Structure 1
């Protein structure tokens, strides 16, 4: 199994040493094609410009190189089983019988390849539980497709949706602000977060000039509110989430 450094080195050699930026850009595009279950031939046919044409040809050579090494990259670890299950009914039936129940976490961040693998493993019965939140989809840049949540409802009309709207971490004020921020998102599932922890303190929104300024401001608030010293807490007792 080649890690990202190994695969980048191969792609760089196939590009003829055009620099790290070009190498990483091509590597990212090839990864997106794999996550979308596109073969090198399909990538060539659907290329929209000269750069994509060139990268698609590199993709083809890259796959040939992997095969000659009897190697796979990280994307292949999901892509190859998905293709195998698509093309081989005997293998597909075997694994559908063996894996009778699936739990899919962070379903909003699945890409086409992962979603296809899930469907091939669950089969027509669809004995699975998927946990996901369309307002927390943050991996589109690496191929995650939030449409998978919508497709799931279409592919499995018998699916039961259970909304988990109670928040066990935050107070009501924080959730009201969160609800306000995400209300403009395109919605697949409407939700209203709530908490049993009461209203809580007023939330401050502070604009900082830089990362350093942000760090300085946080520490200044700890000092200003005299939270450290005497028999109180020490600086080591604080954690900053960012």
Structure 2
């Protein structure tokens, strides 16, 4: 995957609400990657306020002095910088972690939708009606823009299907309008089709980008 990295003005790209991942490698008991998001920004003091990150559904308050790498991402780029936790503080009745941010952050432009190998089971329908017959499929790879699936049901490029697929708790496609864009050589398990999500809500697309990015991070950590 080709990527282009440049330094950009942090104040122009960091925005409240953007999802982020905190990476900790220097403290063994906290080592890992944690989901968070930008709760507030103090541009005058150059302080970013991150929501208390979670890991496997549990909140992880990061103590003062812990060094970390932060990745903030939008729909097309990742913004990265190294920083340190200033502890846990209360901001507008919510606990957050303030971290300093530099004048410039590293921006990585990537392909709009990165594909990762991922095996999930789902079902699709040929019409969005509630009583429509469903057909099982298995994913081979997934991106925020589409997926490669294997199914016993034959389809043709141009066909429209409606997909039910759960990625994780609280992240799922429900009767998602999807287009078959290509047919690949058949495998032992069935027919292979490349598909593209249509009319995907922007919020759901952003959550999918975040989910795939986190999976990518885990794969890179395993390879190391």
TM-score (norm 2): 0.25
The structure with more radius of gyration: 1
Q: When you count helix as a share of all residues, which structure comes out higher?
A: 1
